[in-house]
Chain A
Amino acid sequence: MKVLHEELIPGGWHWSHVVKRGTALRLTDLEGGACAAIVLFNPLDTSERYNLPDTLKAQFTAKLTTGHALYSDMGRVLLSILEDEVGWHDPLGGLVDDARLESRYGVKNYQQYRNAFTRSGKRALLTEMARHELGVRDLTTPVNFFAKVVVDEAGRLLWSPQETKGRSVVLQAEMDVLVVIAATQHRLDPRPDWDPRAVKAELVESNVPAEANPAWAHSDQNKRGFHNAALYAL
Chain B
Amino acid sequence: MSLKPSALKPETAVYRHVVLAGDPWMGEVTKGQTLRILDLEGNQAADTLFFNADDPVERYSALDTLAAGDQLYLTTGSVLMSNEGRPLLTITADTCGRHDTVGGACAAESNSVRYPLTTRHMHNCRDSFLRGLATHKHLNLTKRDLPPNINFFMNVPVTPDGVLTFEDGVSAPGKYVEMRAEQNVLCLISNCPQLNNPCNAYNPTPVEVLIWD
Contact = CB atoms under 8 A, between A and B. Distances in A.
Interface of A: 46-47, 51-54, 56-58, 60-63, 71, 73-76, 88, 92-95, 97-100, 135-142, 150-153, 155-157, 187-188, 221-222, 224-225, 227-228
Contacts of B161: 150
A140 B163 CA distance: 22
Contacts, number: 140
Nearest to A157: B70
A189 to B, nearest CB: 13
B103 A57 contact: yes
A24 to B, nearest CB: 22
B contact patch SS: loop
A92 B113 contact: no
A47 B142 contact: yes
B121 interface: no
B91 to A, nearest CB: 14
A140 B57 contact: no
A73 B67 contact: no
B109 interface: yes
B62 A52 contact: yes
Interface in B13-30: none
A63 B110 contact: no
Contacts of A62: 102, 158, 162-164
A140 to B, nearest CB: 5
A92 B110 contact: no
A216 B126 CA distance: 26
A93 B63 CA distance: 8
B147 interface: yes
Interface string B133-152: 00000000011111110000
A27 B180 CA distance: 43
Nearest to A49: B144
Nearest first, the 7 A-B pairs at minimum CB distance are: A53-B104, A75-B109, A63-B162, A94-B67, A155-B73, A151-B158, A155-B72
